[in-house]
Copies of this chain bind each other. A is one copy, B any other.
């Protein structure tokens, strides 16, 4: 066994709705038995993204404010003119943030900082059920035992 996968499902509200998925990623890595290697976190879809941040309400608000400067909700989008979806801003934010992230694993632990959480960001303009794909690759052998 070189590769293992788990799918998470999450109900989101959109409009820069940010969820801490670190405990679920950590559980999966631990239960996979992987000793050292990598975990890939990936969200299929073009209106969401994955990154890391200190998961406290203030800075989540600050991040959404920065994304509002980059891709404001209240300006015209060619995507909306063509398709009437009204979520052009969400597509632009997701393309800039990108849908995947790779985190190293050693000794069955995620190598994250103390104040660094893995988050899903849903940028869409409506509630969604999101699928998040977790995948581990690497070495299942504990060198100490």
Contact = CB atoms under 8 A, between A and B. Distances in A.
Interface of A: 1-3, 5, 36-38, 40, 42, 44-46, 51-54, 56-59, 61-63, 66, 69-71, 77-83, 88, 91-92, 94-104, 106, 111-113, 115-116, 133, 135, 137-139
A44 B116 contact: yes
DSSP class of A's interface residues: helix, strand, loop or mixed?
A: mixed
A125 B44 CA distance: 32
A59 B92 contact: yes
Contact of A139 (B3, B42, B77, B103): B3
Contacts of A61: 78
Contact of A38 (B40, B91, B94, B111): B40
B42 A62 contact: no
A78 B53 CA distance: 14
Given A52-B46, A66-B70, A99 B116 contact: yes
Given A2-B138, A59-B88, A112 B40 contact: no
A52 B96 contact: no
A92 B62 contact: yes
Nearest to A95: B53
